[in-house]
Amino acid sequence: MSGEWAIKLKHRLQLKFMGIMFISLLGGLFSMALAEALYFGKILGISPEEAELAFPEYSPFFNAVFIIISIILFLLLSRRLIKRIEEMNMNVKRIAAGKMTGLAEDKSKDELGSLSRNINAMAEMIQESLQKEKNMICDLAHDLRTPITSITGYVELLEQSSDLSDQAKEYLDIIYRKSNDLSVQVNDLLEYSVLQYRKKEYHMAEISLSSLLEQVIIDFIPSLEKEKMTFLLIGNNKPHLYKCNQGLMVRLFENLITNSIKYGKSGGKLNICIEEHNETIVISFSNYGTVLLKEDVSCLFQAFYQAENTLTYSTFPAEKFS
């Protein structure tokens, strides 16, 4: 049905443009005839037929009048039709950009008006679908928090027992760390849904990125030492003031350092460099673990993307599988 409707719409538009073109040509012919009659009849006092024989050089002039008048009439008559098509095109562009509200409405009862209403109805359906997805993600994140908290709590209680073997304690430590990782991922999922679907106001203030980095890296010193990693902070001799939300910036630094330790510990070191280039602050995190493939580098900024070689990350020490 949709294909048949599209064909009908195409044919109707073609008929409309053909009608506009026909009226424009008629208008051009009428204007040319009127110009000839006025010029030759009123000014020279001869008929157009006699004028064509006596003044053949005027024929191209009146042909030009016909063409110009026809083009002007076509543009004027098709202007509203083209404008309506442009409005629908803008609506489609807004939808593609994720803006489902504030779309222009075409209340005409013809085929273009019907097409415009269908586009707006599609935008409403997409908006409802996104709202349902947002609610599902938020509900899922909230529901996952409770069992994760319970698992972490029971692991902490078990670790206090003196009857556990060293191997059991090691397994409990792994469960505890993975529960914390899962808790962080659930929080990331909830934060992602908030940023993606809700308009949230964040307090912005000018802070020193150097001081903030120093405070964050201090909290990771035990984790770095545990993985036998060294770190180097370069360029923190200047304040590097920047206006941002401190909580989100801390979270950004924590995620980068956590991943640097998790996936780059085999390299044994982490370098963090902060510097300014033409009023732009550049912060780079460098670890020396597994090298990313070229196809993975192009996907780094896709949400929740995970490279193939991260699957080699092992929860247990390698010697357990030897």
**Distance in angstroms (rounded) separating the CA atoms of residues 298 and 307:** 11
> Which among 64, 99, 134 is the end of a domain?
99
Give the structural domain span for 32: 2-99
pLDDT in tens, the chain (322 residues): 455 545 555 567 677 778 888 888 888 778 777 766 666 555 555 565 655 555 555 566 667 777 888 888 888 888 887 888 888 888 888 887 777 777 777 777 777 777 788 888 888 888 888 777 777 777 777 677 777 777 878 877 887 777 778 788 788 888 887 887 788 777 777 776 666 655 566 789 999 999 999 988 888 888 888 888 888 888 888 888 999 988 888 888 988 888 888 888 888 889 999 998 888 899 998 888 777 777 777 777 776 666 665 544 444 443 333 3
The domain that contains 314 carries what CATH number?
3.30.565.10
**Distance in angstroms (rounded) separating the CA atoms of residues 279 and 41:** 76
> Which among 67, 82, 99 is the end of a domain?
99
Q: Is residue 156 part of a domain?
A: no
Closest CA to 112 of 9, 5, 2: 9
Kindly provide the b/e burial profile for residues 70-106, where b requires at least 16 CB atoms within 10 angstroms of the residue's own CB: beebbeebbeeeeebbebbeebeebbeeeebeebeeb
Helix (H) or strand (E) holding 222: helix 221-226
- Domain total of the chain: 2
Rg (CA), the chain: 36
Helix (H) or strand (E) holding 140: helix 111-159
Closest CA to 253 of 266, 277, 236: 236
Q: Is residue 171 part of a domain?
A: no
Q: Record the pTM.
A: 0.45
